[in-house]
Amino acid sequence: MSQFVDECQLNVRGGDGGAGCVSFRREGPVVNGGPNGGDGGKGGDVWLVADHNVASLLAFRDHPHRRAGSGVHGKGKDLHGKRGEELVIAVPEGTVVNDMYTGELLAELVRHGDRWLAAAGGRGGRGNAKFLSNKRRAPTFAEQGEYGEERWLKLELRLMADVALVGFPNVGKSTLISVISAAKPKIADYPFTTLEPNLGVVRLDDHTEFVVADIPGLIEGASEGRGLGHQFLRHVERARVLALLVDLAALDGTSPADQERILRHELGEYRPELLERPRLIVGTKADVVTTEQLDELDFQPDGATRFVISAVTRDGVDRVVGAVAALVHEARMAEPRADGVVLLRPEPAGALVARQDDGSYRVSGRDVERVVMLNDVTTTDALSYIGHRLDRLGVHKLLARAGARDGDVVWIGEFSFDYRDD
């Protein structure tokens, strides 16, 4: 299948988690009962999903930012906030996902339905009811919602053309692709105007689109290497559907039937299996042929459907596009599914301590950073809880092993404190 590369940048961000609530029961004479603050809702995730009905990355060119819904804050009376809505982004089969800054391969979504978590939503904060314990009977703090993940991705699509337009030089392939798609190929009235395949995406509606490749003009003997024969034919090799274009008003007098016979011969000589592909025959330049001349043309192809069009007046073009869309859909559904690749790299567990150039220490690790990020460091209760959690995670022992002494500054995320050896 002819491969083309389409690239785009995509910014994805998971939804933020909702904040937990600080609330106490107030029932009748009970002015300040037990805690009943509800949890915040989790933020929505962003997923990339391969879809065989999507053929390009053009949707991201002008709108590269995608964000999932955020979770709702918790409320009193143990009311938990609603989860944020996840965002599912449809991408074409064969999409390769890399980190935009490091170039690291993250996923390759090959077959229909392959999914990859592009950005996780933030965890919802726990309400103060979750912090009730024998030692803490009236917790006056709750967790904030966690921010959703955000990252810039580079999407690369090695496009495999759904349809290849095949025909002699100057038969009208570039004109047709410019009419049915947004492609702007070079068009002139001399042969071999097109020296490399042009790519166009044809959209019929929000759910149906396909890729058309305008293959440079073939000549008789192309299968034997005449002209740029093998270079041109290589682009046809694995296209799902072939559209053979024949000139109804060829200047050299070659009849449409002879043109079709030569094209089929060259395709068969190059790869016999190409003749088994779904194909249709399209007679072009009908606007310069009279009705009487058209009736006299020997134009009855075997094993394919005949169409007559004028790309200039658009007469017959819609019928051809509809027929091509139907053939593409059948071919997509019939072909075997390839295996995709999704790389899973779990976050490293535990914490890591590193001494910085200024003599301070930085503690990193998802669980450790979450303890500080989600809690309110301005309240005494919350600070006590943070200290307890850091001890449970082994941060104090790690700092001691790293050589930390009384008074050394320790950083966790944007939060800093003085180390105490006790």
**pLDDT at residue 184, as a whole number:** 57
Of 137-141, 186-190, 298-302, the least confident: 186-190
Q: What pLDDT, on the 0 to 100 scale, is given for residue 89?
A: 94
pLDDT digits (tens, 9 = 90+) for 75-124: 988 899 999 999 999 998 878 899 999 988 898 888 888 899 999 999 99
Ranked by mean pLDDT, which of 5-14, 114-123, 340-349 comes out on top? 114-123
Average pLDDT of the segment spanning 410-418: 84
Query: Pairing between strand 241-247 and 163-167?
Result: parallel
Q: What band does 193 get if pLDDT is binned at 50, 70 and 90?
A: very low
pTM attached to this predicted model: 0.59
CA distance 360 to 411: 7
Per-residue model confidence (pLDDT) at position 191: 39
Choice among 154-168, 260-274, 306-320 with the minimum mean pLDDT: 154-168
pLDDT on residue 230 = 47
Q: What is the pLDDT of residues 32-75, one digit of tens each?
A: 678 889 999 999 999 999 988 887 787 888 889 999 999 999 99
Note the pLDDT of residue 194: 41
Answer for the pair 166, 267: CB distance below 8 angstroms, yes or no.
yes
Q: Is the pLDDT of residue 142 over 80?
A: yes
pLDDT of residue 225: 46
Mean pLDDT, the chain, whole residue set? 80
Full set of structural domains in the chain with CATH: 3-159 (2.70.210.12), 162-334 (3.40.50.300), 352-418 (3.30.300.350)
Residue 388: the pLDDT is 83
